[in-house]
Amino acid sequence: MTTVEERLLPSAEPVRLIDQDGVPHDHPSYRLPTKEALLDGYAQLIKGRRINDQASALVRQGRLAVYPSSHGQEACQVAATMVMREGDWLFPTYRDTVSIVSRGVDPIETLTLLRGDWHSGYDPYARKVAPQSTPLATQLTHAVGVAHAARLKGEDTVVMALCGDGATSEGDFHEALNFAAVFHAPVVFFIQNNEYAISVPLARQTVAPSLAHKGIGYGVPGERADGNDLAGLLAVLGQAVDKARAGEGPQLVEAHTYRVQAHTNADDATRYRNDDEVTPWLERDPIKRLETYLMQEGLLDDSVRQRADAAAEEVAAELRDGLMPDPSVDPADLFAHLYSEQTQQLKEQAAFLRDELAREEA
Amino acid sequence: MTHVKITMAQALNQALRDAMKADDTVLMFGEDVGALGGVFRITDGLTAEFGEDRCFDTPLAESGIVGMAVGLAMNGMRPVVEMQFDAFGYPAFEQIVSHVAKMRNRTRGRVALPMVIRMPYAGGIGGVEHHCDSSESYYAHTPGLTVVAPATVADAYTLLRKAIEFPDPVVFMEPKKLYWAKEEVDLTEDQPGIGTAVVRREGADATLIAYGPSVPVALEAAEVAAAEGRQLTVVDLRSIVPFDDETVCAAVRRTGRAVVVAEASGFASVSSEIVARVTERCFHSLAAPIRRVTGFDIPYPPPKLEKYQLPGVDRILDAVDDLQWEDS
């Protein structure tokens, strides 16, 4: 017999199936993913890291306005989408470029927001990926609505809703968890706790034992995993998705990870943290530990590694080629999409700008 | 032709019922809208008729209500939400301004949000603090929103039906003090759509421009003015966004004088916008500066003091008297 509390509270320690030295560990509730899943995940991690670092380089070259990197958090990025099925919805934030691309969205369209040629570049319906959210938690209630609609239609869609540790202080985080619980909506709330909200450390967000503990207040089961262990994340998120799909209601998962780089290129992390805090986290890198494990198991040979590197290089080249030319923007777009039918006032303002530009050209 | 004598509350209820009958994807939800039928009974009987999945109560959290409506609209539903009272809608302000209003634009038209936010609004019902705000200017100021305010029973029905069928989000401002106003109406009769203002009364001397709860007051003032020998046109905006410049400006050009009537505080408001845009367009037709009769720039007063805040017939007539008649 388990009590309600036991069912809702997370494990005593974050679930970790492969430790930072690449050593596998048994867990009473979770099993190591298949070697196929881990090899696929490995290739995706390599690609995710390459996307992050290429995009950061493109900021330095002035090709992107800004890039909030998930460098070091790639296991979370990749695991979130690996456990999803075709037809499931992803609700990402601004730091989830790698997740979005992993979901099959065109990388250049994904970076539209950060390139600055529009607020969102991809068709959300094509891959069931909502526009990236920058106000931290507002997307979580949208995720509940999408999940509830799916339930009303009798579809077995699961919605993967991403947010960070800072977002758990926002009211919408709490409203979303509560609404999802009350309406039994199939949402997996996945918090990537990277310890920082720009400069503010987790200790200033909450004194809760963990962010996964926040589920109990809403009757939502919480679980936590080592956010740099792809194996543990796949097991925990996979189970959460299965439960949500099976009609067990929303699930809350917290990944313990770390933002090893600054918030964005515009941020100076040396103003609020020391390098000796960062260094141990570099040792916990998600790629390194999986690589060590796969090599020890004899699963990773040069050909696998070369294939992964080549695929990563391909997407990096795609980013460079796609982002090097200046984006084409059309000022008429500014007025074109507010309403299904353009208002008279917007027609007049569009004409005003058109005339102004024509005069400048003449 | 079936004429029935009903209240605005009943007309709104009928509009919801007919919309839900016509389209299975129409959902109605909010606070106390289920078994109770809404604190103003606008959703009376809908849960009984359509079931818990179609008309339901939510947790008491307005941002969650509107945010969930966004997701439902993204995924094939036509949600209608009730904010219960104007000022109770403020927790949802971020969702309305940053998401409801922007989703279509952000996604270059790929994600439309056919949803209605029903907002019982404005004063005149003796409501205590936070129950009587005229919040329409906040929404009208936000590009991407459509803002509608019916003033008649027939319009309450028609405009709500059209708002629910509208492809984009509508903030539907329901004048609380008119909920119990009765009219004999034919609900099957088609009325002009969203974006069209209507001339409620013709008069050659001056134009009163009003919307929502101020329309009956303007009509009453026009009646009194007529008895005193001055003929006033009354324009009922019906929709604040889109704004019907054509109808409003045509009336002002015909009469050469105008007064805008609105309950909301006047500073940086819908009423100030109307004065600005009509002046920009009709300056040479104007015999006098456009006057406004609005609420003072104060928080909505407590019930015992609200009569000082609301635009009344006398204040409107005084403003009309002030339109420099001596010069003509």
Is the CB of residue B25 less than 8 Å from the CB of residue B78?
A: yes
Give me the total of CB pairs closer than 8 Å, taking one residue from chain A and one from chain B.
138
A210 shares its domain with A334 = no
CA distances from B328 to B144, B177, B321 (A): 42, 38, 13
Q: Is the pLDDT of residue B328 over 80?
A: no
Is the CB of residue B43 less than 8 Å from the CB of residue B28?
A: yes
A316 shares its domain with A354 = no
Q: Can you give the pLDDT at residue B1?
A: 56
CATH 3.40.50.920 in chain B, residue ranges: 198-323
Q: Can you give the pLDDT at residue A58?
A: 97
Beta bridge partners of A290: none
Question: What residues of chain A score a pLDDT lower than 50?
Answer: none
Q: Is the pLDDT of residue B145 over 90?
A: yes
Per-residue pLDDT tens digits for B252-292: 999 999 999 999 999 999 999 999 999 999 999 999 999 99
Q: Tell me what ipTM this predicted complex has.
A: 0.97
∠ CA B143-B57-A91, rounded to 5°: 50
Q: Do A120 and B107 touch (CB under 8 A)?
A: yes
**B1 vs A259, more confident:** A259
Report yes or no: B143 at the A interface, CB cutoff 8 Å: yes
What CATH number labels B3-186? 3.40.50.970
Give the position of tokens 């409620």: B200
A188 shares its domain with A167 = yes
Q: Which among A31, A70, A84 has a CA at the least distance from the CA of A286?
A: A70
Is the CB of residue B108 less than 8 Å from the CB of residue A339?
A: no
CA distances from B311 to B291, B299, B318 (A): 13, 15, 11
Catalytic, out of B3, B99, B130, B131: B131
The C-alpha of B99 sits at a distance from chain A's nearest C-alpha, in angstroms, of 8
A239 shares its domain with A334 = no
CA–CA separation, B12 vs B166, rounded Å? Answer: 16
**Third-level CATH fold of B198-323:** Rossmann fold (3.40.50)
Sign of the C-alpha dihedral computed for residues A89, B96, A194 and A271 taken in this order? positive
Q: Which two tokens stand for residue A104?
A: 């099959």
A192 shares its domain with A334 = no
A320 shares its domain with A337 = no
Tally of CB atoms within 10 A around A238:
18
CA–CA separation, B46 vs B49, rounded Å? Answer: 5
CA–CA separation, A209 vs A216, rounded Å? Answer: 12
| Identity at A125, one-letter amino acid code | Y
The SS3 call for residue B8 is helix
Q: How confident is the model at residue B190 (pLDDT cuts 50, 70, 90)?
A: confident
Per-residue pLDDT tens digits for B70-115: 999 999 999 999 999 999 999 999 999 999 999 999 999 999 999 9
Q: Can you give the pLDDT at residue A362?
A: 85
CATH 3.40.50.970 in chain B, residue ranges: 3-186
Element spanning B73, H or E: helix B62-74
CA–CA separation, B34 vs B113, rounded Å? Answer: 24
Measure CB to CB from residue B74 to each of A119, A120, A146 and give the nearest one.
A146
Global pTM exceeds 0.95: yes
Give the number of domains in chain A.
2
The boundaries of the domain holding residue A59 are 4-329
Q: Is the pLDDT of residue B327 over 80?
A: no
Measure CB to CB from residue A145 to each of B74, B91, B111 and give the nearest one.
B74
Q: Can you give the pLDDT at residue B94?
A: 98
CATH number of the domain where residue A272 is located: 3.40.50.970
Q: Do A123 and B241 touch (CB under 8 A)?
A: no
The C-alpha of A25 sits at a distance from chain B's nearest C-alpha, in angstroms, of 40
Counting beta carbons within 10 angstroms of the beta carbon of residue B188, is it exposed (0 to 12), middle (13 to 18) or buried (19 or more)? exposed
Q: Can you give the pLDDT at residue A266?
A: 87
DSSP class per residue in A132-158: PBSSSSHHHHHHHHHHHHHHHTT----
Report yes or no: A142 at the B interface, CB cutoff 8 Å: yes
A291 shares its domain with A357 = no
Give the position of tokens 């008069």: B203
B203: left (phi over 0), alpha (psi -120 to 50) or beta: beta
Find, in chain A, the residue whose alpha carbon is nearest to that of B27.
A149
Sign of the C-alpha dihedral computed for residues A258, A260, A262 and A263 taken in this order? negative
Q: Which two tokens stand for residue A280?
A: 């141990």
Residue B284 annotated as catalytic: no
Report yes or no: B196 at the A interface, CB cutoff 8 Å: no
Report yes or no: B109 at the A interface, CB cutoff 8 Å: yes
A212 shares its domain with A287 = yes
A307 shares its domain with A349 = no
CA–CA separation, B34 vs A222, rounded Å? Answer: 31
A223 shares its domain with A315 = yes
Q: Can you give the pLDDT at residue B63?
A: 98
A355 shares its domain with A207 = no
Q: Which two tokens stand for residue A163?
A: 């947010």
Find, in chain A, the residue whose alpha carbon is nearest to that of B169.
A339
Q: Do B74 and A141 touch (CB under 8 A)?
A: no
How many helices (H) does chain A have, and how many strands (E)? 15, 7
Question: Quick one: average pLDDT of B2-25?
Answer: 96
Q: Do A119 and B105 touch (CB under 8 A)?
A: yes
Beta bridge partners of A6: none
A155 shares its domain with A256 = yes
